[in-house]
Amino acid sequence: MQRIGIIGGSGFVGAELLRLCAAHPDLDVVLATGDSQAGQPIVSLYPNLGPVVGDRCFDAYEPEAIAGLDLDLAFLALPHGASQAIVPALRDRVPRLIDLAADFRLHDAAAYPTWYGEPHAAPELLSAFVYGLPELFRSAIAGATAVAAPGCYPTAATLALTPLVAAGLVDTGTLIVDAASGVSGAGRPPKPTTTFCTVDEDFTAYGLLDHRHTPEMEQNLAAVAPAGAAAPTVLFTPHLAPMNRGILATCYARPAGGGAPPPTADLLALYREHYAGEPFVHVIDGSPSTKATLGTNMVHVTVRSDPRTGFVVAIAAIDNLVKGAAGAGVQCANLLLDLPETAGLPRAGLYP
> What is the CB neighbour count within 10 angstroms for residue 259?
10
CB 333 within 8 A of CB 322: no
Closest CA to 131 of 221, 228, 245, 210: 221
Q: How far from 88 is each of 63, 85, 147, 183, CA to CA, in Å?
A: 11, 7, 14, 32
Compute the distance between CA of residue 210 and CA of residue 69 in angstroms, rounded to an integer: 41
B/e letters for 85-97, b = 16+ CB within 10 Å, e = fewer, are ebbeebbebbebb
CB 241 within 8 A of CB 182: yes
Residue 200: which region, alpha, beta or left (left: phi > 0; alpha: psi -120 to 50)? beta
Out of 152, 197, 251, 332, pick the active-site residue: 152
Compute the distance between CA of residue 52 and CA of residue 49 in angstroms, rounded to an integer: 6
Q: Which residues contact 320 (CB under 8 A, 6 or more apart)?
A: 152, 181, 182, 184, 185, 245, 246, 247
User: 181 pairs with which residues across the strands?
Assistant: 240, 247
Q: What is the DSSP string of 277-316?
A: T-TTEEE-SS---TGGGTTSS-EEEEEEEETTTTEEEEEE
Closest CA to 36 of 56, 16, 11: 11
Cα Rg of the chain, angstroms: 20
Alpha carbons within 13 angstroms on the beta-carbon side of residue 239 total 14
Q: Would strands 247-253 and 311-318 be described as parallel, antiparallel, or unpaired? A: antiparallel
152 included as an active-site residue? yes
CA 345 to chain centre: 14
Helix (H, G, I), strand (E, B) or coil at 79: coil
Residues serving a catalytic function are 152
